[in-house]
Chain A
Amino acid sequence: MVDQQFEPKIVGFLCRWCSYTGADLAGTSRMQYPPNLAAIRVMCSGRVDPTFVVKALQDGADGVLIAGCHPGDCHYSEGNYKAMRRYPMLLNLLDQFGIDRRRVRLEWISASEGEMFARVVSEFTQQLKTLGPLRWPHTIEQFCSPA
């Protein structure tokens, strides 16, 4: 049952060379995609610390997108490989925290793939609508009243 009323919040960490430019292209090409993703520009997908991903989930994001250059195309030659290796380990950890691994996505989007960026955001938004809100309690008070 998909709650179409629910608008998921997505934080996107986009590498400055490929995916951010790809997102820009989607914009300049006037492509339509849901406005649910708020992008944070980082220099490289290798800069994305799993702490950022968890911080976003903890602070109320329903999903997180990490997007970088295609393997082999990294502007810094291998930063995206670092992201690629961190990602499954983070997912394994999120599994244990009971967070659906589909809420965190790693995608390779090149600077020319504006269309792919729009497609990824659309798909991801739709998927998060299916998964429903995460509502991770992010303060101790919210987490549980002591008593």
Chain B
Amino acid sequence: MAKPKVAFYWCASCGGCEETIVDLAEDVLKVVEAVDIVLWPVALDYKLEHVKAWQPGEVTVAFINGTVRLSEQLEWVRLLREKCPFVIAFGSCAHLGGIPGLANATSRAEIFANKYHRSPTIDNPQKAVPLISSSVDGHHLDLPEFFKDAKPLDQVIPVDYYLPGCPPPPENVAAAFTAILENKLPPKCSVIGVDKALCESCPRNETKPDDFTITRFKRVATSTPDPEKCFLAEGFLCMGPATRGGCGERCIKGNMPCRGCFGPTPDTLDAGLKMISAIASHGEADTEEAAKAFADSLVDPLGTLYRFSLPASMLRRRAMAGAEQ
């Protein structure tokens, strides 16, 4: 029997997810033994025509990481969806939008202005920005379109499974491979992780007092958390209670509160809003003024609560005016 064929593709991403495959260490050999990797832009040469030439079903599974931001990425993921019976959203960016998804807090025009006009290393007196189509001296250049916002994978194509995490833990990747090879697949659209929140497996959960109040939020940038105690009880915003477990508590072990890369638990619509609801209840404020001061102590709520999930949140992006709308 021929080895199953596997494709990897990246959209707007940092390459950290690819690093996870490398982090499989010796196990990567087993993967290579078991499957044929036919597409891996980060490691192998490839052409669009090659993929277009695939027979449908010829390649079993496509692992796609990164946020969809360019028309080129859209074309690729649509093509892979067409060709592959299984598409796996690989990593937080494909799953929820990830760090590139934070760009939804600003507009395309702002991004271009920052990148091409305001950046101190750019000399751009004509105020040029990339155009989809341009002609210079009879030469024609087409560039992919930069979409108005960033989107997780399932907002553009149907996704079969999600491997969350920034990056996904190698154990989960290995488990996913095993499941595919042994044909022990979970129900469609499953997220490979735990259905309970991170607190369940958090080594610090037992240190959480029955009742605690937070006077002002602390930030890891300006104060150091106790290495043993529950972050929330100490006043650091930890997304653990609202975030799906199964990540191996990597951040917690590094004395960093959970930042929510595994996304919301299955029963919530929006982890950020849920977190406000949960944590505000513990604020020490009995007057409207005190409540405001308490709320103001949480710097950049959007960036903190939706660090990995802005495009997959209920509101998805900042409200825009005019053409950006």
Chain A contacts to B: CB under 8 angstroms? 46, 49-51, 54-55, 57-58, 71, 81-82, 84-93, 96-99, 136, 140, 143-144, 146-147
Interface centre among B268, B295, B314, B315 (most CB of A within 10 A): B315
B74 touches A146 (CB 8 A): yes
A55 touches B276 (CB 8 A): no
Q: Give the interface SS of chain B, mostly helix, strand, loop or mixed.
A: mixed
A51 touches B318 (CB 8 A): no
A85 touches B302 (CB 8 A): no
B318 touches A144 (CB 8 A): no
A50 touches B296 (CB 8 A): no
Q: What is the chain A residue whose CB lies nearest that of B151?
A: A146
- Select one of A51, A57, A84, A90 contacting B269, CB under 8 A: A51
A51 touches B277 (CB 8 A): yes
- Select one of B272, B292, B315 contacting A88, CB under 8 A: B292
Contacts between chains A and B (CB distance < 8 A), count: 105
> Which residues of the partner chain B approach A87 to less than 8 Å between Cβ atoms?
291
Is B31's CB within 8 Å of the partner chain A?
Answer: no
Is B233's CB within 8 Å of the partner chain A?
Answer: no
20 other A-B residue contacts (CB within 8 Å) besides A81-B286, A89-B280, A92-B298: A46-B281, A49-B277, A51-B269, A51-B270, A55-B269, A71-B286, A71-B287, A82-B281, A86-B276, A86-B281, A87-B291, A88-B288, A89-B294, A93-B273, A96-B105, A97-B317, A143-B316, A143-B317, A146-B151, A146-B156
- Select one of A91, A93, A136 contacting B319, CB under 8 A: A136
Query: Which of B18-26, B59-67, B142-150, B224-232 is near enough to bind chain A?
Result: B142-150
A98 touches B298 (CB 8 A): no
Measured CA separation A88–B285 after assembly (Å): 11
B296 touches A97 (CB 8 A): no
Measured CA separation A77–B195 after assembly (Å): 33
Chain A nearest Cβ from B304, distance in angstroms: 10
